[in-house]
Homo-oligomer: A and B are copies of this chain.
Amino acid sequence: MTGRYLEDFAVGQTFHSARLQIDKERIKTFGAEFDPQPFHLDEEAARDTLFGGLAASGWHTAAVTMRLLVESDLKPAGGIVGAGFDELRWPQPVRPGDELRTESEVLEVRPSRSRPDQGLIKVRTTTLNQKNEAVQVIIANLVVRRRR
């Protein structure tokens, strides 16, 4: 197995992803399956809502962020496994055609008290659009393997 073990992570390290463009039709089909509300389904109906136009479901943004993160240079050995989150915010809506990427920073690294073969890293991942506006901020606690 390749990838980074707990011992390879240090506070302050940063990791980056490629870019992924958000397709208008995928916003609507994701909305239809998982978040069927007017602002995620139809331009016309979205106009009179809080969003003032079609916007991706926050869960669509979160899912795309996960995809970008899996393919980023973070690469923990054993995969990206979330134990929980301290924070999840969507400061700006994601619009059709937006191009998203992630920036991640390690905030904490600590061995597990109960499991000597693993530890936790706390990572803040910011998802940015093509104007460098944050569209999602998430602080995750990830389970990472230790070297043996």
Chain A positions near chain B (C-beta within 8 angstroms)? 30, 33-39, 49-50, 57-60, 62-64, 66-67, 70-71, 78-85, 87-90, 143
Which residues in B have their C-beta under 8 angstroms from that of A90?
82, 84
Q: Smallest Cβ distance from A50 to chain B, in angstroms?
A: 6
Q: Is the interface of A mostly helix, strand, loop or mixed?
A: mixed
- The one of B39, B50, B87 in contact with A84, judged by C-beta atoms closer than 8 angstroms, is B87
Q: Smallest Cβ distance from A107 to chain B, in angstroms?
A: 17
Q: Smallest Cβ distance from A141 to chain B, in angstroms?
A: 10
How many Å lie between the Cα of A39 and that of B49 in the bound state?
A: 38
B85 engages A87 (CB within 8 Å): yes
